A and B are shown apart, each in its own frame.
Chain A
Amino acid sequence: MKGLASYFTKRVVFAVVTIFIIISFNFFLFRILPGNPIELLYRNPMLTKAQIDALYHQFGLDKPLWEQFLIYIYNSLTGNLGISFYYKQPVTNVLIPALENSLILLVPATILSIALGIITGVVSAWHRGTKLDFALLGSALAFYTMPTFWLGSIFIIVALYIGGIPVSGMYSLGLNYTGIIPRIMDLLSHLMLPLITLTLVLYGEFTIIMRNSLIDVFTEDYIITAKAKGADDKRIIWEHAYPNALLPMVSIIAINFGLVVAGAVLTETVFSWPGIGLMIYDAIISRDYPILQGAFLIISITVVIANLIADFVYSYLDPRIRYK
């Protein structure tokens, strides 16, 4: 088990370093690139020299750079991500509820897309070379190439044409719920379109990976042995082929967390889903840099942690890593 411990230590160290680099990046971005807000304040001709100095002191800019850097890291780690220009509130207060809303959309979409990808991938691989395989692969590829925001927009237009399906926001405006059940039903009806959109743009890649790795596995000796022993098709697929084909899937799922986030940002924008993605879109328009940086940090930390979990799952599934 020594191999496993050192493997985990390596992954955890890498995760910590990644987050550290992102925090440093945020720090330098704010100080090096043009258009930073303190410089804008500084240019205000109404300010006296004393006021400027007071501002610099308030932001800690009169201290040496390394000290500012340490303060910044301390603040970031303790959840002090600055004040939003637009909301005039601490960034954390704005982004944490948004993160929760994002997860309500993201988690089910990820799970659904993986399930859909595995099922279509298995069916496609088993019927490889047939029309069914062609159709499943074709639609997977089509959804994979579809821009998220475009698919979402098409759904909105269709839903408006049909009528009665909410296309924007998370809850109906101005409704007084009589209990928890109607509130949840309202949420679900708003969740439907963004969830379908995100699931569809994500599942295609899983189908292709699952199909290809299954077909690879089908040529292995132990599958031929199982066939020779007279095992039926279902058993060969689910007991022999599927567990082995799952390994490449797990690593692809881990690599894809970034894509999931991208998809979520775009989906939320189109459907005005009040998550971090919509926050980013609004922050771009209002040039709310603290929100942008805070969102980047929070999203990165989430993705890094998700990756770490995927690493652990991978090592659980693949004993070779444990004993290396």
Chain B
Amino acid sequence: MTGLSDFWKVFKRNKMGLTGLGIIIFFFLMAVLAPFISPYNPNQTNPNLFLSPPSSQHLFGTNEIGQDLFSRNLYGAQISLEVGFAAAAVTVIVGLLIGLISGYFGGIVDEILMRVTDFFLVIPSIVFMIIISAFLGPSLINVILVIGLLSWSPTARVVRSMVLSIREWPFVEAARASNAGHFYIMFRHIMPNVIPIVFANATMAISNAIFSQAALVFLGVGDVNDISWGQIMHFALYSGAISAGDWWYIVPPGIFIILLILGFILLGYSLEEIFNPRLRRV
């Protein structure tokens, strides 16, 4: 991969990756355009239309206080993408740093960092997230930090195992021989070789974050006042709409989450295929 245009040449032949990217762009547009294309104010209640099924006026029906669910689902894309990208950024940065340091220095540093990584790999993170969010109180920043700081262990492991082999390559030895500092070697020589796989990993981190945010809000931790797909499903259960069989309340947000996560997974698979020569089919 020498440049972005080279990358695009390979990428545009990858059907899986293009489909994924298309889905992501679709939801990105949905999030950005929500204020302009929503037929109703998502918070406006209507006392005459409680839990009404889909109609030409309300494409996805209304909820238990008469809000238009189509508008709310459009707005819901914003939080999912925000949390997805922000939490994944935290995940990737922490994972990358820990993996780099652990793999590069080896020895006791590696041993300690890997045991910490194992710890985060073993503990049931969703329960951990619930406990911390419940104590910290609801806010978007808290949800982002909690998800980001508890999900970095797989990234750290992948990066470490790559660094372990890269640090034995001749150019690293050459850099060391010419008296380059540890941090210079780590960030200028080793990191660029790890970045592509980290990108593929980041798409998984994003889908994981979207999923976790929805699960947390659904369970009632995190901010239940911000409109998000998880929040719509939270109130669908909480208001008893599910037990009443009001399918239009629960079906759309779930399908949106599935599609968006699928988009990131497809993009991730294709990136891995492109960056990992062993998987390349060219």
Q: What mask results when residues 262 to 304 of chain A are scored 1 for a CB within 8 Å of chain B, else 0?
A: 1001100110000000001100110101001101100110011
Cα A18 to Cα B220 in complex, Å, equals 28
A60 contacts the other chain (CB 8 A): no
Residue of B131, B218, B262 touching A293 (CB-CB under 8 A): B131
* Segment 134-173 of A: residues with Cβ below 8 Å from B: 141-142, 145-151, 153-154, 156-157, 160-161, 167-168
Contacts of A289 in B (CB 8 A): 134-135
- The CA of A7 and the CA of B215, in the complex, are separated in Å by 37
Residues of A within 8 A of B44 (CB): none
Contact in complex: B262, A300 (CB < 8 Å): no
- Residues from chain A with a CB closer than 8 A to the CB of B119 are 17-18, 21
How extensive is the interface on chain A, given as a class?
35 or more
Given A14-B115, A292-B131, verify A258-B124 contact (CB < 8 Å).
Answer: yes
Q: Which of A17, A33, A262, A266 touches B135 (beta carbons < 8 Å)?
A: A33
Per DSSP, chain A at the interface is: helix
Complex alpha-carbon distance, A22 and B253, angstroms: 35
Q: A307 on the interface (CB 8 Å rule)?
A: yes
Q: Are A262 and B215 in contact (CB under 8 A)?
A: yes
Given A149-B218, A296-B131, 9 new contacts (CB under 8 A): A18-B119, A149-B237, A150-B233, A153-B242, A154-B247, A154-B251, A257-B124, A269-B218, A269-B219
Please tell me if B221 contacts chain A, counting CB pairs below 8 Å.
Answer: yes
B261 within 8 A of partner (CB): yes
Which B210-254 residues have a C-beta within 8 angstroms of A?
211, 214-215, 218-221, 233, 236-237, 242-243, 245-247, 250-251, 253-254
Q: Which residues of A contact B (CB under 8 A)?
A: 14, 17-18, 21-22, 29, 33-35, 141-142, 145-151, 153-154, 156-157, 160-161, 167-168, 255, 257-258, 261-262, 265-266, 269-270, 280-281, 284-285, 287, 289, 292-293, 295-296, 299-300, 303-304, 307
Question: When chains A and B are docked, how far (Å) is the Cα of A168 from the Cα of B244?
Answer: 13
B174 proximal to A (CB < 8 A): no
Cβ distance B150 to chain A, nearest Cβ, rounded Å? 10
The winner among B207, B215, B261 for most chain A CB atoms within 10 A is: B215
The answer to whether A141 and B262 have CB atoms under 8 Å apart is: yes
